[in-house]
Structure 1
Amino acid sequence: MDNEDEAKCPPSIKMVFSSNIVKCTLNVLHQVMFDIQTKNLELQRYGTSIADLHRIITSLLKKLNDRLEQKYFGQQTRILLNAMPEDVREKLISSFVKYLGSIIQYIHKYYDEHSLLAESVAIFGITEIDQIKFDQIEKFVAILNLEVDHDKLFEEIISLQNTYKEVNSYRQVDQNGPP
């Protein structure tokens, strides 16, 4: 802030936002909200499908849980916390832990009931079809309560994977030139 901006700021607001406790809290909010917004933008991308949902949500939960377990709220927050009296520092850390815990609970509350479906659909996000296993597809079929002929489904998957491998081998020959 330059001097002109500081002169315009009411002293009561300036006093509140100059507090190390507020700075520390705002830093934590910035760190956590940045993580959440990054994943939110991933979810909003044009090409995002339900197959990506499981990966995006679980990676967000992993990052938030890692922050929570390691009590890491960013380097600037650490510097500010270390400069505070221990009782204030412990209160702030406790409030940050509760905050992160409530975000994680919120995500679980809305995601867990759909996580089985998202997890089973996630196999279709695999780019190499030959990596998909039949039991993964059976699990997906069961979740959707589909009645299918499992023997025919198995045959179709094997046929599709073999065709995929053949096409890939032709692509490799084309890229490497004729033998």
Structure 2
Amino acid sequence: MTSQITEMINKSGFYSLSFDASNKGHKKMFPFVVNYFTVRGNERSVIEVIELVNETADHIVASLREVLQMNNIDIQNMTSIGADNTNVNYGRIHSVFSLLKSDIPHLKKGIREIDQIKFHQIEECVVFLKLEIDHDKLFDELNILQSTFKEVNSYREPLSDQIRKYIGDDAHNFSGDIINDQNNESQNEQDLFHKPTIEIHEKENQIRSDQLWAYLLTKSTTLCSEMTKVLANVYSIPCSNAFAEGVFSHMKHAWTPSRNSMSTETIATELKIRLNSKIKCEDFYSFAQSQPELIKSAKSKQKYSYVKKRVLANANREDLL
């Protein structure tokens, strides 16, 4: 599963990395989350959950580098980092951001209808992002995608229904995640409990802009490589750190008092399965039933024969800095 995520990230070309910290007993746990653009819109995945004793900028950066290296992800393709707004993460002097910025100059801290976008706005975006783009090709691709937008809008079937069929179940699930993220960050609890049913229904059925662009790129008869590069960079930057923070809610349910003897590696693996897997429970159950060796291993009290890959949180990491 993780190798497939890595392949999609590398194919996208750009990604952001978000992280957060929370105590579980005497342990300080750090989930690392990636955000990236795919042919079906934005994806968010947990690539690692580690225990980190020293919460200093140096140790966080060293762990971050090791996690990326362990998963064969190029750090130079990182567009932004997302974390709590603390001096350790975003301070001007010797913070996670400043340490990474020295190696990744383009690193950043965490619109209109498509047919109304002007080319100079795209050019300004390219300049801001410091991307190497063929501007002539980009101009042609923008015109192609705007024509595609007008064409699909002229169909009898509503555009939202077309995109929903293309995206499939992910359209509803991902939109729901984003809506929950926005609700969790709202400061007005009264708004959450008194929103009209129609408004909630409209939000649940809305299509996100990243899904719209992904659909247009697929419907286009031309390979819009330059526009894809711009979109992959822009959409790799998340609007909040809510997904990384949400990992701890899942960790609370996975690491219950009755399971407090489980290793951090086991919990990390379970969290990655929970948050990265798209297979339905009944489908996984059917798959597991057809794998006698898997069932035998699950019931066995013997030690596993494979060697675990783990992030050496307490080791000397000066060579990684």
Shorter-chain TM-score: what band?
Answer: 0.3 to 0.5
Using the size of structure 2 for normalisation, the TM-score is 0.21
Using the size of structure 1 for normalisation, the TM-score is 0.32
User: Per residue, is there more strand in 1 or in 2?
Assistant: 2
User: Per residue, is there more helix in 1 or in 2?
Assistant: 1
The structure showing larger relative contact order (alpha-carbon pairs under 8 Å, at least 6 residues apart) is 2
Larger of the two Rg values belongs to structure: 1
